[in-house]
Structure 1
Amino acid sequence: MTQKLAGRTAVVVGGGQTPGATVGNGRAAALTYAREGADVLVVDRDLDSAEETAELIRKEGGTSLAHRADITVEADCESIAGAALDTYGRIDILHNNVGIVPAGRTEDLAAETWRRGFEINLTGMWLTCKAVLPHMRHRGSGTIVNISSMAGLLAGGETIAYNTSKAAVHSLTRSLAIEYAPHGVRVNCIAPGMMDTPMGVDANARAGGVSRDDVAAQRAAMVPMRRQGSGWDVARAALFLASDESAFITGVVLAVDGGFSLRAGIQ
């Protein structure tokens, strides 16, 4: 590795993962940041899963600590910033990876399902940013990488709450980017497409009562490159946005999707 993040601290929110055969976006990002020299605070609601990621980092010779937090609770988000500062003394990178997929068409969708989707996908992300941004502003530097979805650029009846909340993440990213640009803080977003992750494939296979291979094949067939991406593809894009290689880039929504958005007619 090139040690692009040597001497820096990265906070990866959603750094654990659901059970599955492949690596998730959050775990891949935490490992990638660590391999590039960053100290990593791995945050997840599931402390055991966060600890698994932190232990993987430590086994490779990196420095990492697991921290439990529910991002829908403002005090928990404040505890994330506090834990990073108490342990490492600084926060250079905030990586927001938490999200759920509330499903249902408008007339069948419970209001609580809609609210919960926005609470986790949008408000929680805003709360973690709110907790970390004062430190970044004071230091005059920092980068935030928000993980969204191509769904935020699409319309979908059965996933209207998911699509709409992810579109709001894009707006949140741009709004924070313009607000904090004068303070040396960059805020960008990654919109993954069809990814071979536990949440994308294994969870859908379990929910549908079908094989993992069938779900993976169906998803791959939708991508112009005829394959899914991986958590490592998202992590490498995140590394670019978190590093000095993107020092003059802020407010972008970067598609990591194998051309899926082109097929969907998104410009």
Structure 2
Amino acid sequence: MNERVIAVTGGHGELGRAVVAAALAQGLKVAVIDHATGQPVPQGVLELGGVDLTDPVAATAAVAAVVKAFKRLDAVLNIAGGFVWQTVDDDQPAWDRMYALNLSTALNTCRAALPYLKQSDAGRIVNVGANGALKSAAGMGAYAASKSAVHRLTESLAEELKSTPVTVNAVLPSILDTPQNRKDMPDADPAQWVAPADLAAVMLFLASPQARAITGALIPVTGRV
């Protein structure tokens, strides 16, 4: 059994489940931190549901619970987030919501995890940015701005931690092949999208000791789009 412990935020979503499955296949010990409750998890996975990661106090408590259960923490994979398509002139702007779901969740979890990650020989943070945040499009302003903030957080934190064993990187996926995206885009070819299992493989490499030479990277994972 691999002794490394990883915490996966948003672990009940499509990508989160793919990451958990791949991590277990590698023999890693896994904790899932999610706002959703009552979701099934594979045997041996620590499930922390009902956690509002936009609240720094809740994030700190959740990370502490992971360490209490496993006695260590080696990597955090920040998948928790959200998406909304909305034009700037919408009368119910979602900018604050997107920043809370995409940036605050990652920031609060990173800050809560840092004291423990610094104690690991190979502490790792892997954030989920967005390829669509490199150049935004109509209706993508709030989402792209929040994900761009995740990119900047990744770069800044990587620089701050260069004197430690902790690396910080982000993956920038395009469209994920999920049931919801297939429903929303019935005329698209999902074979060109990114399979959650493929993105999970990239994230788990970045979370591994073998990725020690990579930090501050924003890695596009865009399939054939």
TM-score by length of 2: 0.93
Q: What letter corresponds to residue 183 of structure 1 in structure 2?
A: T
C-alpha deviation, 1:108, in angstroms? 1.7
Q: 1:218 aligns with which of 169, 183, 188?
A: 188
Runs of 4+ in 1 over 6 A off after TM superposition: none
1:126 alignment partner in structure 2: 107
Q: What letter corresponds to residue 218 of structure 1 in structure 2?
A: A
The answer to whether residue 7 in structure 2 is matched with residue 11 in structure 1 is: yes
C-alpha deviation, 1:120, in angstroms? 0.9
Q: 1:258 to 1:157 in 2, by over 3 A?
A: same
Structure having the larger proportion of residues in helix: 1
1:239 alignment partner in structure 2: 204
Q: 1:85 to 1:242 in 2, by over 3 A?
A: same
TM-score by length of 1: 0.79
The answer to whether residue 6 in structure 2 is matched with residue 46 in structure 1 is: no
* TM-superposition CA deviations, 1:8-59 (whole Å, max 9, x none): 1010000002xxxxxx11110111111111110011111222xx2x22xx2x
CA distance in 1 between counterparts of 2:121 and 2:91 reads 43
Percent of matched pairs sharing the same residue: 29
Q: 2:92 aligns with which of 77, 96, 110?
A: 110
Q: What letter corresponds to residue 31 of structure 1 in structure 2?
A: A
CA distance in 2 between counterparts of 1:236 and 1:110 reads 37
CA distance in 2 between counterparts of 1:179 and 1:31 reads 31
CA distance in 2 between counterparts of 1:75 and 1:219 reads 42
Q: 1:257 to 1:216 in 2, by over 3 A?
A: farther
Structure 2: segments with no counterpart, 5+ residues = none
C-alpha deviation, 1:218, in angstroms? 1.5
CA RMSD of aligned residues (A): 1.7
C-alpha deviation, 1:140, in angstroms? 5.4
The count of residues paired between Structure 1 and Structure 2 equals: 224
Mapping 1:1-150, distance limit 5 Å: 6-17=2-13, 24-49=14-39, 52=40, 54-55=41-42, 58=43, 63-68=44-49, 69-108=51-90, 110-111=92-93, 113-139=94-120, 141-150=122-131
CA distance in 1 between counterparts of 2:90 and 2:168 reads 35
Q: What letter corresponds to residue 82 of structure 1 in structure 2?
A: A
C-alpha deviation, 1:180, in angstroms? 1.0
Structure 1: segments with no counterpart, 5+ residues = 18-23, 206-214, 221-225, 261-267
C-alpha deviation, 1:109, in angstroms? 5.2
Q: Which of the two has higher C-alpha Rg?
A: 1
1:21 alignment partner in structure 2: none
1:189 alignment partner in structure 2: 170
Preserved contact between residue 151 and residue 167 of structure 1 (Cα < 8 Å): no
